Amino acid sequence: MGRKSIIKSTLATVFVLLACYAFFNTFIYPNPLRLEELSLRFDPRGNSLNFPANSGPVKVYMYDLPRKFTYGVIESYAMARGGLKAPVNDVTKLRYPGNQHSAEWYLFADLTRADQSGSPVTRVLDPEEADLFYVPFFSSLSLVVNPIRPASVAGDGLVYSDEEMQEGLIDWLEGQVYWPRNNGWDHVFICQDPNALYKIVDRVKNGVLLVSDLGRLGRDQASLVKDVILPYSHRINTFNGGVGIESRKSLLFFMGNRYRKEGGKIRDLLFQVLENEKDVIIKHGAQSRESRRMASQGMHTSKFCLHPAGDTPSACRLFDAVVSLCVPVIVSDYIELPFEDVIDYRKIAVFIDSNSAVKPGYLVKLLRKISSQRILEFQWELKKVKQYFEYEYPNGTVNEIWRQVSMKLPLIKLMINRDKRLVKRDLTESDCSCLCSNQSGMYTAL
């Protein structure tokens, strides 16, 4: 059939449809709609008309921040500890200290590497093309540049000030075209340590914040809707053995600081009810190479690993447990968890509310009732999701963080457009769109 005859028959069909339409239109109600007409009108090839929203991976522009906000923080950290005598010329000589807040390093390194293939986002070098702007300030490392016990002062005698760095970042941003353009909605900040960026968080709160939890942030500063919960980097070695309980003789393991602030006060109570229980290893210990070695050994040989709240609801111990295939027992009522849209944590962890957990005998009795078969099921699931918590895996944590950031884009664009057309109005309450859970919760999610 030639092109002309297709056009003719199409026109004929259209004419017949229009005639039908006019006919039906004379009945008592106007513009009636019928299924078979619609089926004809719908053209599946319509797909070729592309809406702007369907145009591929989200484009991220990473700001080329002054060196002091990135490599400079590493230098200051090393110099404050005597590991470096003076600033270096070649940044490849600098090593980011491995710590639980090193997501900022991994994201920076990811956007810096030459080959971007395999990433859920596309890095663009022209800010005009960008959907989102990543601000790679090493805010968590900046917070701890000055050691708690200063070993030596930096070579030039200047004391590092994290607060000045934060203010400096804002000053720098205010000189950028793209920062005020959309009221900050399209900017992404990393502040993984609960105190990172504390001085300026109110000024950057419209942005997507990459955080460990919402413990120290106000409800107008951060939320599950706007922000992304990151896992801490695990600090102990990944367990390379398989699923099984033969080599896991201890029922429950915990090693960490017994005394914490705020929600972490539960730790001392848990020590009291657990420290004399059979098959339970619970030890007070601060961060050190030796304690990490002991924790590795303990987590690799226990069935369950306790995860109580710390100063904030989250702690790196949860991720240590996951990579140890040691089933986490979470006693932290206000915890928010990374990537919860793709991870059903009930499959990999036991949740117990704080009030029940501190009742003498309750926790251990509950854990002892869990069958070996059920523990193996937990371990299989842990093995499945482990990749989400490995920052160094090719398709591990870093890719998942970018994917989570990407998914915020439609709401970000909506807020950008909406903000700009809002007119003056008399609001009786603040202008918020919320997602609320109506669940009052259970005593244990097992």
Within 204-243, which residues bind a second copy (CB under 8 A)?
206, 219-220, 223-226, 235
Nearer to a second copy, 16 or 249 (CB): 16
Return d(Cα 253, Cα 41) in angstroms, integer: 65
Determine the interface stretch with a second copy among 89-97, 271-279, 365-373, 374-382 (rule: CB under 8 A): 89-97
Residues β-bridged to residue 255: 283
Does the footprint of a second copy cover residue 411 (CB under 8 A)?
yes
- What Rg, from alpha-carbon coordinates, does the chain have? 27
Does the footprint of a second copy cover residue 419 (CB under 8 A)?
yes
250-256 vs 302-308, strand pairing mode: parallel
Within 282-311, which residues bind a second copy (CB under 8 A)?
289, 292
Q: How far is the CB of 418 from a second copy (least distance, A)?
A: 5
- What amino acid is encoded at 131 in this protein? D
* C-alpha separations of 181 from 172, 173, 304, 423 in Å: 15, 11, 50, 18
Does the footprint of a second copy cover residue 3 (CB under 8 A)?
no
Q: How far is the CB of 68 from a second copy (least distance, A)?
A: 17
Within 325-344, which residues bind a second copy (CB under 8 A)?
333-334, 337, 340-344
Q: How far is the CB of 232 from a second copy (least distance, A)?
A: 13
Within 143-202, which residues bind a second copy (CB under 8 A)?
183
3-state secondary structure of 308: strand
Interacting residue with a second copy among 9, 10, 13, 112 (CB under 8 A): 112
Among 197, 209, 331, CA closest to 260: 331
Number of residues forming the site for a second copy (CB under 8 A): 122
Output DSSP code: residue 185.
T
3-state secondary structure of 324: coil
Does the footprint of a second copy cover residue 104 (CB under 8 A)?
no
Q: How far is the CB of 114 from a second copy (least distance, A)?
A: 7
Does the footprint of a second copy cover residue 15 (CB under 8 A)?
no
Within 23-52, which residues bind a second copy (CB under 8 A)?
24, 27-36, 38-39, 41-49, 51-52
Interacting residue with a second copy among 1, 125, 148, 423 (CB under 8 A): 423
Return d(Cα 6, Cα 351) in angstroms, integer: 65
Q: How far is the CB of 356 from a second copy (least distance, A)?
A: 8
Give, in degrees to the nearest 5, the angle at Cα 286 between 249 and 351: 55
Nearer to a second copy, 249 or 418 (CB): 418
Does the footprint of a second copy cover residue 18 (CB under 8 A)?
no
Among 262, 338, 261, CA closest to 328: 338
Does the footprint of a second copy cover residue 376 (CB under 8 A)?
no
Return d(Cα 228, Cα 8) in angstroms, integer: 55
Return d(Cα 164, Cα 358) in angstroms, integer: 43
For residues 427 to 446, the per-residue mask of contacts with a second copy, x marking binding by CB under 8 A and - elsewhere, is: --xxxxxxxxxxxxxxxxx-
121-123 vs 132-135, strand pairing mode: unpaired
